[in-house]
Amino acid sequence: MSRSQSAFLERKDVPGRRDLQKAVDALGFKITLDDTYVPMKSSGYLPCTFDGEDSGFTIKFLELDRVAERPEALQAVLGSRDVEIAFSWSGDPREVCCAMAVGAALAGNFGAIVYDTGDKVLVSGDELLAKARKAASAP
């Protein structure tokens, strides 16, 4: 599995920490986003806790470059989305779960289109949720 993805949203739909945390909570995971999450400003490692243990992933907010080359399938669904949130993580199942859960929350609650930048495929919120659950149950 790839270790990077991007979520594309309209700027007006980029959630604040409280709204994003609420959406992640609704998925049923014991994940807490660090208070350092600030929409459009956070860049670098975003600490999280997963079931009481330290975890996290790297996050970066980017203005969408409209002239950048993108796969046709992605370009066709971007619409008016003008923000890219790039995620990356290690192979640690806790990090995978946190990144997938946040991606699923963005897709399910904030209209994000999520693209797996390693495998070069669009990923649905349901697929992200399944990946998060699988990682959460890993030993």
Q: pLDDT tens for the chain, 139 residues: list them.
A: 569 999 999 999 999 999 999 999 999 999 999 999 999 999 999 999 999 999 999 999 999 988 888 999 999 999 999 999 999 999 899 999 999 999 999 999 999 999 999 889 999 999 999 999 999 998 7
User: Could you give the angle at the alpha carbon of 30 between the alpha carbons of 87 and 50, nearest 5°?
Assistant: 55
- Count Cβ atoms within 10 A of the Cβ of residue 129 and give its class: 0-12 exposed, 13-18 middle, 19 or more buried: buried
pLDDT given for residue 65 in this prediction: 86
Q: What is the spatial distance between Cα 31 and Cα 129, in angstroms, rounded to a whole number?
A: 13
pLDDT given for residue 17 in this prediction: 97
Strands 121-123 and 113-116: antiparallel
* C-alpha to C-alpha distances, 101 to 39, 47, 48, 71, 96, nearest whole angstrom: 17, 14, 12, 24, 8
Nearest one of 35, 45, 41, 27 to 90, comparing CA atoms: 45
**In degrees to the nearest 10, what's the CA dihedral of 9, 87, 60, 22?**
60
pLDDT given for residue 138 in this prediction: 85
Distance of CA 34 to the CA centre of its chain: 15
Residue entry with tokens 């796969």:
71
